[in-house]
Structure 1
Amino acid sequence: MGDISVSNINGNATVHQRKSCWYEEEIEENLRWCFALKSILHTGASQYQDIQLLDTKPFGKALVIDGKLQSAEIDEFIYHESLVHPSLLNHPNPKTIFIMGGGEGSTAREILRHSTVEKVIMCDIDEEVVEFCRSHLLVNREAFFDPRLELVINDARAELERREEKYDVIIGDLADPIEGGPCFQLYTKSFYEFIIKPTLKPNGVFVTQAGPAGIFSHTEVFSCIYNTLRQVFKYVVPYSAHIPSYADTWGWIMASDSPLIANADELDIRIKQRIKGENRYLDGKTFVSSSTLSKAVRKSLDNESHVYTEGNARFIYGHGSAYRQVN
């Protein structure tokens, strides 16, 4: 048993064989991303999703849901700092935060580093994923037991409709929009217009993860989520960062009816005043750089006309396999 690879040096083919177990995700029809595993720590399934926790050789522990890598130990800080801090720093005094999804706990962890924050609602539909992460992801254990955190198991749309309170910041840490998945409706114009916007306080900021944002992959969903939010909010800022374990550049989109800061020095001042501990990835210059997209992507976003609706949705490429033993 083993993984067989062939190299060709000076015209001589050499066959190499090694025992290995590999994680594999099908990113596109003709493109797969895989890396070696030390072990499979846990596999399970909820009524909504398949769940795996893998110990990988290049990226440490990795959480995989429905065959899609959600986060890896070695670089999840890039994703979560990028998702959380720009929106909170762009609010003058963020006290109440609502997380859609975020069952892993890392988004709550980063929010709770902000000294202004008084209450965080983390609403995830899948209790088994939340309990799984609370038990296995020790880096977030302190966040799960922070008294400012209120954990709710419910559909995020239903929970926002049920509650009368409004929020300073709403964060979409949702699974990618996958055909047949549990949450593509939470990327639609109607949801942004009739649920998100009315639930924000004055000066409120909304941010969502928005899928792959690479030079080729951004047209899957990133560009149309951006265009959809432009139909609803006055100020919309797309930004991106390379995440090694995702094998791509990833995108987020921040939106508000109040002007958003683009000044690196002002962001650095707020980081120093508000955030406990030091960010590993994000500072003022990093955010300004992240929100300066390439010419090709900027042009594509400017020309995007698709509006995301329930009947006219776009999806990222379908599921990969969580792991496989190579024989």
Structure 2
Amino acid sequence: MGDISFSNGISNGNGFHGNGHSVGGAQRKSCWYEEEIEENLRWCFALNSILHTGATQFQDIQLLDTKPFGKALVIDGKLQSAEIDEFIYHESLVHPALLHNPNPKSIFIMGGGEGSTARELLRHNTVEKVVMCDIDEEVVDFCKSYLVVNSEAFCDPRLELIINDARAELERREECYDVIIGDLADPIEGGPCYQLYTKSFYEFTVKPRLNQDGVFVTQAGPAGVFSHTEVFSCIYNTLRQVFKYVVAYSAHIPSYADIWGWVMASDSPFLLNADEMDLRMKQRIKGENRFLDGKTFTSASTLSKAVRKSLDTETHVYTEGNARFIYGHGTAYKHNKA
């Protein structure tokens, strides 16, 4: 992850050039976040302040107060979630899988340290137990302290918080789950998570821990017309090698500057139509979703022609020795306008 750096109106070495001007002869500081999405493409927006920056045993972490997106959590230089639109990501990750299960009582979250996935799960009145397993205790403690929107979820007696590697924890446990959720960081080269996107992991660790009618769902990276070939298409194809029924879906998340993808898999067919999904939402979920309903999911799972064609013809299977990775990193820095 890039360091915070300072500039006086000249290039700061991170690809940003300021347009210097004065206001009453005084300097005015401007604070920015910049993420390199591709080699020749960067995403940049203004910050009110940098609330925290540091490093844990496993990863770098920043909490930014952004002008367009509110508070934003950045891990290993990749924006994980932003206050103004995280509901799109977390509703999409959680609710389709639970609604397609006939009676989801026990859930296992791989990752999910910020608590938002647990928050959405605990809105379901069928849920009796949620195990959230995140490898980084410092990130979890940090999110408990700073992300007050999830305070209630962290205090819910149905939530069991485990600090461990998700693979080791699933292999250690004997119980099975109705839904397993992969709320993991993106597969970044050198990062801690890429092995949890592999065929062997899905086949020998995840699937044996699912109950009958069990559903697995994972976040699957960028899913735009051009970006979906990074990891989205091969995660979809990898899960097709392991499960009988696999559904890919996507939605635009403004703070990510792209369409984002999820993949849901099961050995039981996904048969709910939009009206049936809406009915289950009314019966099961406390409060009203801001983003997801039956029609929205129908739209989300109707991918564009280009992406559908690519997924249908994808042959790459994600393995430890043949992995694909998300490109890029982000940098928060200050620029002094003279």
- TM band (smaller chain): over 0.9
By how many angstroms is 1:4 displaced? 8.3
1:1-327 to 2 correspondences below 5 Å: 17=21, 19-321=29-331, 323-327=332-336
Q: Which runs of 5+ in 2 are unaligned?
A: 1-6, 12-18, 22-27
By how many angstroms is 1:43 displaced? 1.2
**Percent of paired sites with the same residue:** 84
Take 1:132 and 1:271, find their aligned partners in 2: how far apart are those partners?
A: 32
Residues paired across the two proteins, number:
317
Take 1:314 and 1:176, find their aligned partners in 2: how far apart are those partners?
A: 11
User: What are the superposed Cα offsets for residues 27-62 of structure 1, whole Å, 9 maximum, x if unpaired?
Assistant: 111111010000111112100011110100000000
User: What are the superposed Cα offsets for residues 5-27 of structure 1, whole Å, 9 maximum, x if unpaired?
Assistant: 9xxxxxxxxx6646411001111
Letter in 2 for 1:249: I
By how many angstroms is 1:319 displaced? 2.2
Match of 1:314, SS? coil
Letter in 2 for 1:95: K
Take 1:102 and 1:317, find their aligned partners in 2: how far apart are those partners?
A: 21
Contact 1:25 1:33 in 2 (8 A): yes
Take 2:131 and 2:49, find their aligned partners in 1: how far apart are those partners?
A: 34
Contact 1:134 1:140 in 2 (8 A): yes
Take 2:313 and 2:283, find their aligned partners in 1: how far apart are those partners?
A: 39
Distance change >3 Å, CA 266–CA 219, structure 1 → 2: same
Match of 1:214, SS? coil
Letter in 2 for 1:239: Y
What is the TM-score of this pair, normalised by structure 1?
A: 0.95
Match of 1:287, SS? helix
Contact 1:224 1:306 in 2 (8 A): yes
If asked which structure has higher relative contact order (CA below 8 Å, sep 6+), I would say 2
Match of 2:187, SS? coil
Match of 1:114, SS? coil
Contact 2:100 2:272 in 1 (8 A): no
Take 2:50 and 2:29, find their aligned partners in 1: how far apart are those partners?
A: 15
